[in-house]
C-alpha cells in the first residue's frame, strides 16, 4: 500500500518513518514537514539511513492523491485544517489530539478553539475498541499518557472505585515535542525531576476519563500529575484507587490476567517483577504490574511503555494494520532494546 506521512520531522514522525521502513505491506511514497521542507530526512533523523537522499517536501495535498493510507503527525489543532484537502478515499490515522475527544467543552477548555469532531478511538486493547477500529477509515490515535493510564485502569472497573483514580506518571522529554524549549535543554533536565501542568490541568485528562468511561460504562474521574524525567523517552505511570470491600489480591491479579491474556502487546508481568522503561524501549509493548496496599486498601498499578512507539507511532501502525485488514503486529515488535 502507498503510504504518506504528514509532519514527519518531529519525534513521533521520525519514529513512524523508522517503523514503516520495516513494514512488509506499506511503502512510504510521500513525506512532508513544514519548517524542515527541502531538507534531507537524514539531516533531521540521522539514524534513518534507509531514507538517504530523500527530502521532506512542503505540504501539497496532491502529493497524497496516490496514497491509500495517510498518517498525520502534526501539532495538536493542525490536523483538522489538512484533512479536508486530502484524498477522501484514503484511510487516515491521526496522531494528534484533534479527533480524540467526544466532549467539545473539554476540547475548548484544554486545547482551545473549535472542536473538529470525533473519530474512532484507536486503543485496540480496550473493550470493544478493536471491532470499532476495524470498521473505520478514520482513527484518532491515543495520547501516550492516556494509553498507559487507560490500559492500567480499565481492568479494575469491577474491583475498585474508578470514580476517584490518582495517577502520577513520569515521561521522557520527547513527549514534549521537538520544538526548542529552555526547560527541556540538557542542562535543565539532566539530574532533575519536576512536575508540570500541576493541579489537574494536563490536556490528556479528559481523554483518559472518556476512554475509561466509554470502556467500562462507569463515570471515571482522574487526578493526574505528570513528571518530566531526565531521559529522552519512556513513560512510567503509577495508578492508585480504592479497592471495593472484600476484594482479594487473587481477584485483582485474575482481573488483570483475564483482561490481557490474549493481547500480544500488553502483559501483566510475573509477581515480583516490576515494569521498567528500558525494557520497553523501541517496542510496542506495555509492561504492567499490580499490587494491593493493604494498609490503605488501595489497588496500585505500575505501567511502562515507550511514549514514541506504543504511545504514538507504533500504536498508529497497529491501528493502520487493523483498518487495512492486515495482521495487527505487522511491522511491530513486542521486544524492547533493553539497557
For 172-230, what is each residue's pLDDT tens digit? 988 877 666 777 777 787 888 999 999 888 899 999 999 999 999 999 999 999 999 99
Q: Identify the CATH number of the domain defined by range 2-141+309-323.
A: 3.40.50.720
**In 3D, which of 317, 226, 237 has the Cα closest to residue 277?**
237
CA distance 284 to 264: 9
Between 333 and 129, residue with greater pLDDT: 129
Out of 37-46, 75-84, 316-325, least confident range: 75-84
What values do phi and psi take at 213, rounded to 5?
-65, -45
Active site residue 144: yes
pLDDT tier, 328 (very low <50, low <70, confident <90, very high otherwise): very high
Tens digits of residue pLDDT in 278-312: 999 999 999 999 999 999 999 999 999 999 999 99
CA distance 156 to 256: 8
| pLDDT value of residue 189 | 78
| pLDDT value of residue 292 | 97
The answer to whether residue 28 scores a pLDDT higher than 80 is: yes
Q: What is the dihedral of CA 254, 256, 262, 264, to 10 degrees?
A: -140
Which cell goes with 50?
534507509
CB 236 within 8 A of CB 275: yes
- Give the active site residue among 29, 66, 67, 144: 144
For the segment 52-79, the average pLDDT, to the nearest whole number, is 93
| pLDDT value of residue 145 | 97
For the segment 254-277, the average pLDDT, to the nearest whole number, is 97
| pLDDT value of residue 163 | 96
Alpha helices in 65-160 (DSSP H): 79-83, 104-110, 129-134, 144-153
The H or E element that residue 224 is part of is strand 222-228
The answer to whether residue 87 scores a pLDDT higher than 90 is: no
Give Cβ neighbours of residue 166 (< 8 Å, ≥ 6 apart).
222, 223, 239, 240, 241
| pLDDT value of residue 315 | 98
| pLDDT value of residue 178 | 67
CA distance 186 to 184: 6
CB 173 within 8 A of CB 71: no
Average pLDDT of the residues of the chain: 94
The answer to whether residue 93 scores a pLDDT higher than 80 is: yes
| pLDDT value of residue 166 | 98
195 three-state secondary structure: strand
CB 178 within 8 A of CB 10: yes
| pLDDT value of residue 290 | 98
Q: What is the dihedral of CA 247, 125, 141, 206, to 10 degrees?
A: -20
Residue spans of the domains in the chain: they are 2-141+309-323, 145-305
Which cell goes with 292?
494491593
| pLDDT value of residue 180 | 64
- The structure's pTM equals 0.95
Q: Identify the CATH number of the domain defined by range 145-305.
A: 3.30.360.10
CA pseudo-torsion sign 188, 191, 197, 198 = negative
Tens digits of residue pLDDT in 31-49: 999 888 999 999 999 999 9
The answer to whether residue 338 scores a pLDDT higher than 80 is: no
| pLDDT value of residue 184 | 72
Amino acid at each position: 500500500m502507498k503510504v504518506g506521512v504528514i509532519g514527519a520531522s518531529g519525534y513521533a514522525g521520525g519514529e513512524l518513518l523508522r517503523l514503516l521502513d520495516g513494514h512488509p505491506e506499506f511503502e512510504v511514497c510521500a513525506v512532508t514537514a513544514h519548517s524542515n521542507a527541502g531538507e534531507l530526512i537524514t539531516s533531521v533523523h540521522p539514524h534513518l539511513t534507509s531514507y538517504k537522499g530523500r527530502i521532506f517536501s512542503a505540504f501539497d495535498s496532491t502529493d497524497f492523491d496516490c496514497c491509500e493510507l495517510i498518517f498525520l503527525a502534526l501539532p495538536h489543532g493542525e490536523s483538522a485544517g489538512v484533512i479536508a484537502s486530502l484524498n477522501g478515499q484514503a484511510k487516515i490515522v491521526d496522531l494528534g489530539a484533534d479527533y480524540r475527544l467526544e466532549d467539545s467543552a473539554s476540547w475548548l477548555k484544554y486545547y482551545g478553539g473549535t472542536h473538529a469532531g470525533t473519530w474512532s478511538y484507536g486503543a485496540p486493547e480496550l473493550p470493544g475498541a478493536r471491532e470499532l477500529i476495524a470498521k473505520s477509515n478514520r482513527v484518532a490515535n491515543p495520547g501516550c499518557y492516556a494509553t498507559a493510564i487507560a490500559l492500567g485502569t480499565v481492568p479494575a472497573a469491577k474491583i475498585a472505585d474508578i470514580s476517584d483514580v490518582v495517577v502520577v506518571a513520569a515521561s521522557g522529554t520527547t513527549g514534549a515535542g521537538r520544538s526548542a524549549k529552555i526547560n527541556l535543554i540538557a542542562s535543565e533536565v539532566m539530574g532533575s525531576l519536576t512536575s508540570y501542568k500541576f493541579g489537574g490541568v494536563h490536556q490528556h485528562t479528559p481523554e483518559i476519563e472518556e476512554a475509561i468511561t466509554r470502556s467500562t460504562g462507569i463515570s471515571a474521574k482522574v487526578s493526574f500529575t505528570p513528571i518530566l524525567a531526565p531521559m529522552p523517552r519512556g513513560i512510567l505511570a503509577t495508578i492508585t484507587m480504592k479497592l471495593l470491600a472484600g476484594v482479594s489480591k487473587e481477584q485483582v491479579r485474575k482481573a488483570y490476567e483475564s483482561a490481557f491474556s490474549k493481547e500480544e502487546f500488553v502483559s501483566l508481568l510475573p509477581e515480583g517483577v516490576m515494569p521498567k522503561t528500558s525494557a520497553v524501549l523501541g517496542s510496542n509493548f506495555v509492561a504492567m504490574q499490580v499490587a494491593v496496599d493493604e494498609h490503605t486498601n488501595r489497588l496500585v498499578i505500575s505501567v511502562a511503555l515507550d511514549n514514541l512507539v506504543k504511545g504514538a507511532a507504533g500504536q498508529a501502525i497497529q491501528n493502520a494494520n487493523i483498518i487495512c485488514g492486515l495482521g495487527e503486529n505487522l511491522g511491530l515488535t513486542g521486544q524492547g532494546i533493553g539497557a
